[in-house]
Amino acid sequence: MGSFSDTVALILIIPVVAAGLLAALPSYRVTAGLNVAASFLTLVAALSLFVTNRPEPGPYLVVDDLNIVFIVLNTFVGFTTSIFSASYISHELETGRLTKTNLRFYHAMYQIMMFGMNLAFVSNNIGLMWVAVELATLSTVVMVGIYRTHEALEAAWKYFILGSVGIAFALFGTILVYMAAQPIVGEGTAAMVWTVLIDHAARFDPALLNVAFIFLLLGYGTKVGLAPLHAWLPDAHAEGPTPISAVLSGLLLNVALYAVLRFKMLLAASPDAVAPGPLMITMGLTSLVFAAFMLYRRRDIKRLFAYSSIEHMGIIVFAFGMGGPLANFAGLLHMVMHSLTKSAIFFAVGHIAQVKGTQKIKEISGLTQTHPGLGWALVIGVVAIAGLPPMGIFMSEFLVVSSTFARQPLLAIPLVFGILLAFGALLLRLTNVAFGEPQGRTGAVEASYFPLYAHLALVMVAGVYLPAPLVSWFQHVAQILG
């Protein structure tokens, strides 16, 4: 087995080399296959991090117990989405919704996006992390507008503008952290190296750190999709190709969340800085309750699950805001379960929209009769995302609620209210879509069931049994988060 630094380099080099090849190759079938192969190799490289010895962190790259969770999840969902993407985009080409010209750089952009997200996770430099998040965002902006319709271009433009505002806030916050570190650490890149910052955080100017965290939470919070900074998210999900909806919900939101967690740890290490928890709890609860109400008014199936993503990111940010070993454990588990479940739901929804020729909920019904493979997958996905047993999200939501009841019983009231409200909306919508009288088109579509059912199986197994090494690893990470 190669050295640890070689493995980290592979996680970054494979997507870059693949992107160069994919940009040069004209054939869709070849590029789709190469995209899957590159995503698989990146996943293998990520998994090999478990069996290699870790060297000391460098000035630019680091792998620790926290980001390894994100890297493995990111590369796994990136791989399964590339399989789904191959069959989904192939159908879009056949029906003429997409042209080969529009698709010219689709797979290259997919790999650049994966590179950006992976780089954000392994960055030991807060400036480099900012650049990586921006790169991942810009590559998804291009893919959201790939249909070239008025609505798709508007969604991409809105995503770009709001994302730019958010990233500008995050940049300002990053500069303020550098200014707080500079008098203690000295000038140069050392004042931007995460491992150096965390060692000296107790001596930084707390006033500067406080202002920095507000800007960072607002900036990266825009990317997490927290209300009221969420306006780009429903449009980007509804108008972009479904593989990108799956990646946005399952992965890109986690990248911004990871950045917030890094800076939360920095504030926690400074005894005189403001506690980041109350800010995160407020934004988390606001997002949860707002999104739960908005679910009742959605008429587009992809917008419905986009608001569901806002709801669940609210729960996750709330859990990390509460802090402590149990709430942090619940937040980590919920993040992993949400990524797997929501991407599976978008896999199902993508093929359902192709079969029915529409994303309008009222025109989709009786799926369990007409397309049982897709219909029942959607049912299982909604049961999971609604937090019903025996699925993994039930376990994580139960832990979030119980830890809140134990420590802040009053906060448990809006938390449970939001979760139950969202549950009612999803149940209301699912009933007719899955079990109503069949209507609309009933033709077949070449669906990729492997990624869909693989994700759902993992979520179901996690609800029943979590392996002891995984539990102890998550407990360790929860303690690191403070």
Q: Which amino acid is at 19?
A: A
Q: Are 216 and 259 in contact (CB under 8 A)?
A: yes
Element (H, E) at 264: helix 253-268
Q: Are 335 and 257 in contact (CB under 8 A)?
A: yes
Rg from Cα positions in the chain: 21
Per-residue pLDDT for 52 more than 90? no
Give Cα separations from 286 to 79, 204, 318, 409 (angstroms).
Answer: 33, 31, 10, 17
Q: Are 285 and 415 in contact (CB under 8 A)?
A: yes
Which has the higher per-residue pLDDT, 28 or 477? 477
Q: Which residues contact 390 (CB under 8 A, 6 or more apart)?
A: 460, 463, 464
Domain ranges of the chain: 277-482
- The rounded distance, in Å, linking the Cα atoms of 352 and 108 is 26
Per-residue pLDDT for 4 more than 60? no
pLDDT at 5: 67
| Residue keyed to tokens 């306006």 | 231
Label residue 1 by pLDDT band (50, 70, 90). Answer: very low
Backbone angles phi, psi at 235, to 5 degrees: -65, -45
Q: Are 35 and 84 in contact (CB under 8 A)?
A: no
pLDDT in tens, 123-182: 999 999 999 999 999 999 989 988 888 988 999 999 999 989 998 999 999 999 999 999
pLDDT in tens, 189-223: 888 999 899 988 888 889 999 999 999 999 999 98
Closest by CA position to 397, among listed 337, 472, 474, 307: 337
Closest by CA position to 292, among listed 418, 398, 424, 427: 418
Q: How many residues does the chain have?
A: 482
Q: Are 147 and 97 in contact (CB under 8 A)?
A: yes
- The rounded distance, in Å, linking the Cα atoms of 276 and 280 is 6
Give Cα separations from 439 to 213, 303, 365 (angstroms).
Answer: 51, 21, 6
- The rounded distance, in Å, linking the Cα atoms of 311 and 423 is 11
